[in-house]
C-alpha cells in the first residue's frame, strides 16, 4: 500500500482512509467496531465533522486511549469566531482529545483569508495547540483554485474521482506544487461508482488521500483488501473507467444532500440521480413502493429554486428531478433498465 504525505503538514499515512460521515447512520457499537477494525486493517486517517451528528462522538469512543496512534480530521461550518470556538470545544470534547490533527472550514463558499475573523480564529486555534494543522473543504472548482493559490491552508479537501475533469486534475497538480495536502472526498461520486478496484487504482495514480465513506463491514473489507492485494492501473481497469466516464459525465447529482431539506419534502439527493442509481445497483432496490412514492413527490415541485441556491455544483435541480421522474415512469411502464 502506497503512503501519502499531506503536503507541508508532514502527516504520512497509507493512501486509504476512513470517511466517517456514514457511521452516523449506525449504532454506537457498530460504529466503534468498524473504526477499530479499520485501524486493525491498516487505516490511520479518519475524517469526521461537527455537521455529521454523532460521528465525532463515535470516533472519540473508538480511539479513546490510543489517540496518538491515529490522525483525525474534523470540520466546522462556523463563519464567526464565537461559533468557531463553540464548535471546536464541542469537537474536542466529542473526540476525547486535546488536539485535532487537521481542523477544516467546512464547505467553504469562498477562500477565507487574513481579513476574515473565521480564518484568524483557525490560526489562533493552531497557535494554542488545539489544532495542529489548518485545512478547508470546498465543492466549487473556482473556490478550490483560489484556495490553492492563496497558500493560506495546509490541506484542501475536494471531490475527486475517476469522473474528474481536466480542471480537477490540474487542481490536484497545483496542490502538489504548492505543497498542499489534497484530501479526496466523494471518490465514489456519491455511490455512482461501484468498482472499488478501479477507484483505488485511479487514486493511486495521484498524490491524494482518498477518504472512503464507510457504513458496513462489507464495505470496509473491500478497502482493507487493498492493503494486501495492491491494485495498479491496467488496461482492463482503464476500460472500466472509460465506460463509466462515457455514461456518467455531464450534469449529474453527486448525492451530497446540501440541497436539502426540500420545501415539499422531495428526497432530492436520491431522486435527482435515480436514473443512474437504478442502472448501477440492483434495480429492484429502487422500484419498491417506498421509492415509487418518493419519486412521485416530484410532481409536487413548486419550482421555488431554493435547492439550486444551495447546490455546490450549481445544477438545475428542478429540471433534473423532472427528467429523472420521466425516465422512472417509463421504467415502471416496462422500458428496459
Cβ(245)–Cβ(162) below 8 Å = yes
Residue 267's alpha-carbon distances to 91, 253, 263, 296, 325, in angstroms, are 29, 12, 10, 11, 12
Cβ(100)–Cβ(131) below 8 Å = yes
Residue 32 has which C-alpha cell?
A: 466503534
Sign, Cα dihedral of 31, 37, 40, 41:
negative
User: Which is nearest to 149 in space by CA: 125, 130, 173, 183?
Assistant: 173
Sort strands 181-185 and 155-159 into parallel, antiparallel or unpaired.
Answer: parallel
Looking at the DSSP bridge assignments, the partners of residue 181 are 155
Fold of 3-243: TIM Barrel (3.20.20)
Cβ(302)–Cβ(263) below 8 Å = yes
Residue 74's alpha-carbon distances to 47, 50, 105, in angstroms, are 6, 7, 9
Give the global pTM.
Answer: 0.89
Residues of the chain with pLDDT under 70: none
Averaged pLDDT of the chain: 95
Cβ(217)–Cβ(286) below 8 Å = no
> DSSP for 159-222?
E-STT--HHHHHHHHHHHHTTBEEEEE-TTGGGT---HHHHHHHHTTSS-EEEEE--SHHHHHH
User: Which is nearest to 76 in space by CA: 106, 54, 100?
Assistant: 106
pLDDT at position 190: 82
Domains of the chain by residue range: 3-243, 268-332
Cβ(152)–Cβ(133) below 8 Å = no
3-class DSSP state for residue 109? coil
Write the pLDDT tens digit of every residue in 63-122: 999 999 999 999 999 999 999 999 999 999 999 999 999 999 999 999 999 999 999 999
Where is 329: in which H helix or E strand? Answer: helix 317-332
pLDDT at position 304: 95
Burial 166-186 (b: 16+ CB within 10 A, else e): eebeebbebbbebebbbbbbb
User: Which is nearest to 183 in space by CA: 205, 197, 203, 163?
Assistant: 203
What is the rounded CA–CA span in Å between residue 182 and residue 176? Answer: 8
Where is 135: in which H helix or E strand? Answer: strand 131-137
pLDDT at position 258: 86
Write the pLDDT tens digit of every residue in 112-153: 999 999 999 999 999 999 999 999 999 999 999 999 999 999
Amino acid at each position: 500500500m502506497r503512503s501519502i504525505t499531506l503536503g507541508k503538514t508532514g502527516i504520512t499515512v497509507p493512501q486509504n482512509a476512513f470517511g466517517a460521515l456514514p457511521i452516523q447512520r449506525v449504532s454506537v457499537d457498530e460504529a466503534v467496531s468498524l473504526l477499530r477494525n479499520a485501524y486493525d486493517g491498516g487505516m490511520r486517517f479518519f475524517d469526521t465533522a461537527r455537521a455529521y451528528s454523532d460521528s465525532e462522538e463515535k470516533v472519540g469512543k473508538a480511539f479513546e486511549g490510543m489517540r496518538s496512534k491515529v490522525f483525525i480530521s474534523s470540520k466546522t461550518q462556523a463563519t464567526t469566531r464565537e461559533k468557531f470556538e463553540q464548535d471546536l470545544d464541542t469537537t474536542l470534547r466529542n473526540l476525547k482529545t486535546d488536539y485535532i490533527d487537521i481542523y477544516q472550514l467546512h464547505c467553504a463558499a469562498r477562500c477565507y483569508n487574513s481579513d476574515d475573523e473565521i480564518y484568524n480564529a483557525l490560526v489562533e486555534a493552531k497557535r494554542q495547540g488545539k489544532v495542529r494543522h489548518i485545512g478547508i473543504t470546498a465543492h466549487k472548482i473556482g473556490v478550490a483554485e483560489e484556495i490553492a493559490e492563496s497558500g493560506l491552508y495546509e490541506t484542501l479537501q475536494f471531490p475527486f474521482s475517476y469522473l474528474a475533469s481536466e480542471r480537477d486534475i490540474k487542481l490536484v497538480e497545483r496542490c502538489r506544487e504548492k505543497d498542499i495536502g489534497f484530501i479526496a472526498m466523494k471518490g465514489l461520486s456519491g455511490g455512482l461508482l461501484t468498482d472499488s478496484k478501479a477507484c483505488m487504482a485511479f487514486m493511486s495514480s495521484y498524490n491524494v488521500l482518498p477518504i472512503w465513506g464507510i457504513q458496513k463491514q462489507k464495505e470496509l473489507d473491500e478497502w482493507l483488501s487493498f492493503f494486501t492485494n495492491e491494485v495498479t492501473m491496467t488496461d482492463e481497469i482503464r476500460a472500466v473507467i472509460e465506460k463509466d466516464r462515457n455514461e456518467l459525465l455531464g450534469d449529474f447529482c453527486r448525492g451530497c444532500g446540501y440541497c436539502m431539506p426540500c420545501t415539499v419534502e422531495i428526497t432530492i439527493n436520491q431522486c435527482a440521480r435515480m436514473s443512474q442509481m437504478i442502472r448501477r445497483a440492483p434495480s429492484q432496490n429502487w422500484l419498491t413502493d417506498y421509492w415509487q412514492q418518493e419519486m412521485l413527490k416530484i410532481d409536487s415541485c413548486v419550482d421555488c429554486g431554493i435547492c439550486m441556491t444551495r447546490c455546490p455544483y450549481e445544477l438545475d435541480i428542478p429540471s433534473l428531478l423532472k427528467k429523472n421522474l420521466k425516465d422512472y415512469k417509463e421504467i415502471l411502464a416496462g422500458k428496459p433498465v
